[in-house]
Chain A
Amino acid sequence: MGDIARLVAKRLGLGLLTLLVVSVLIFFAVELLPGDIAQAVLGQGATEENVAALRERMGLNKPAPVRYFEWLGGAVTGDFGVSLISGEKVTTAITGRFVNTLFLATYAAVIAVPLAIILGVIVALLRNTIFDRVANVMTLTSISSPEFFLGYILILFLAVKNPYFPALASLSEGMSFGEILHRTFLPALTLVLVVTAHMMRMTRAAIINLLASPYIEMARLKGTPPWKVIVKHALPNAWAPIINVVALNIAYLITGVVLVEVVFVYPGIGQLLVDAVSKRDFPIVQACCLIFAATFILLNLAADVGAILTNPRLRHPK
């Protein structure tokens, strides 16, 4: 048990280090901005006093490393500074939207994960038949389509031509949970389509990989029915790769969420990020990027730790 704790702690430390490096990258990328940030924000026509005032307000008169540690300290305690455009606190702008984004991603994941694993196992069972080929072409198409293409197709067929669901996923106060689920169904479905395809392919590959091993051959030779071979013999050993696949794909959801939120005008953090990028509102961009990157790194970490925990060989290193 001591070994495994050490192994996990090592991964955690590595993840934390990566996050630190990424935060340095995010902070100092803005420093690369040619010329003065305050000048760039206000434009060429700004008066000398205005620029000086903004510099003072942004704390630009301090050296960059000092500001980095102030920013990082603030970020850890949940204070990301003040928006350059609206003057609002970044944290208040982000919190509600972040919850919305998490909700959408969870919604999609709850549908996609069981669906993908079941379909992946079925396709692995039926490998090299015509159904497998059709499934292969379909998942490939789904992966290759940009998220906004799938999103608009769903809008066209499920919202405009047959109005089952609303095309825009705007939320308002006091909606019941069922109503929220109904409203956010199309964006969730778009994410499900993309992520399920990825997960299915990876699950299929993981299981087929396992089916080539001798102990499966043995089980088959002693007359175990095919479904039992999969469920009893292959699946327990496939958990490690499957957990990996799931975590990686939920991490993938994070990138997908940005485009989907824009298509469906969903009030999430992705849309905030895109708006902030076009307005060059750096504190918000930095905060959003840090949150996205942190979630991404965390999920990748979860994949690593999950793989360690489900693999007896890694759990009991010689």
Chain B
Amino acid sequence: MSTFVIGYYALLIAASCLAAYFNKRTVFMLIFSLTLVSFVLGIVGGVWALQMVTGFSAALALAAGTSYAFREFLIIIASKNLAKELRTAPLTAAFGMFVIFTYAIAGIFAPAIAPYGEAEIVSSAFAPPDENLLLGADQLGRDMFSRIIFGARNTVGLALLATILAFLMGAAAGLLAATRGGILDQFLGRTADVIMSVPSLIFALLMLSIFGTNLLVIVVVVAVIYSPRVFRLTRAVAGNVVVMDYIEAAKLRGEGNWYLIRREILPNSTAPLIAEFGLEFCFVFLLIAGLSFLGLGIQPPTADWGSMVRENATLISFGDMTPLIPAAAIALLTVAVNFVVDWMLFRSSGLKEQ
């Protein structure tokens, strides 16, 4: 038994006793079940497993602390109304906002943050990390760290562009279908059905095989694939709002269509639309990452997370984790957006599950 193991269990048991003494039931359950799990893990995996658990908990605690501090920061700088909303945000949502904020900074100021250019060859292929190259070099000797930073700009930017286009197309079609109805509604609805009845990745592959892989094609194809979701939601939401009395009143006042959409329909359907925008972004982002992983997305030498994983995958068979960092970056952003969306959906629906 090393001092580490003794200290580890002493800390856990002391913490669970304290939690039990102060009647914090959930905290107690969490810590004590962690102790029990540690017994099993310790027997199976030895000290290494316990160290992993410690590292993991420390990372979790750090994330929780950061999110707490970030939420307080947002509450202070935000306006009064917004601050009230933010106070209700769970830590996960605060964490999500923090991650999105970080990615935005990395993407916008990429040239200033990255030590080297994205296509600049600075070393030999697969050079190991040193003080100049934080994460080592990739298969052509470019700096991995710089490429990951630039990837935040390219990959996320492309996904954002495709999402915005999908949203504009879907929302415009949905509003049109809800306000006009009739044959146009039927036609748009059936088109959406057909697009949704083909798996998105397969549809994207078919289109890319025909039009070739350039950025414009990717953005348009991905936008077309995911616009039916927005179309259906907008049509449903707008359809519910259109029949309200206040719309009738506005119409009788003699307001135009544009005013109706802007001042009456949109303010009453923003919450679900914003949440849908987040979800849509996740789908688009994962699809684009998948495409570039298959070598059919953003073309080299532009730095892009999906293709970086593929190009450096050989390192994994030597037990090196670096190629997984861009993949983890994709996962982290998607998780973060999902956390924020979860909170928004919860807030907008007022839905409390029992």
Contact = CB atoms under 8 A, between A and B. Distances in A.
Interface of A: 18, 21-22, 25-26, 29-30, 32-33, 127-130, 137, 140-141, 143-149, 152-153, 155-156, 160-161, 167, 208, 211-212, 251, 254-255, 258-259, 262-263, 273-274, 276-278, 280, 282, 285-286, 288-289, 292-293, 296-297, 300
B206 A297 contact: no
Contacts of B317: 155, 160, 167
B205 A289 contact: yes
A156 B201 contact: no
B82 interface: no
A141 B335 contact: yes
A25 B26 contact: no
Interface stretch (B105-113, B156-164, B255-263, B287-295): B287-295
Contacts of A29: 206-207, 210
Q: Is the interface of B mostly helix, strand, loop or mixed?
A: helix
A144 B206 contact: no
Interface stretch (B67-75, B229-237, B318-326): B318-326
A31 to B, nearest CB: 9
Nearest to A293: B198
Contacts of A251: 199
A255 B310 CA distance: 18
B198 A144 contact: no
Contacts of B202: 254-255, 258, 273, 288-289, 292-293, 296
A144 B209 contact: no
B205 A152 contact: no
Contacts of A258: 201-202, 205, 290, 294
A293 B194 CA distance: 11
Interface string B304-334: 0010011001001111010110011011001
Contact of B209 (A208, A263, A277, A296): A277
B209 A141 contact: no
Contacts of A255: 199-202
B309 to A, nearest CB: 6
Contact of A297 (B197, B282, B309, B321): B197
A137 B30 CA distance: 15
Given A29-B207, A146-B330, A259-B201, 13 more contacts: A22-B197, A25-B198, A32-B210, A33-B210, A128-B354, A140-B338, A146-B290, A148-B309, A152-B313, A160-B319, A167-B317, A259-B290, A296-B197
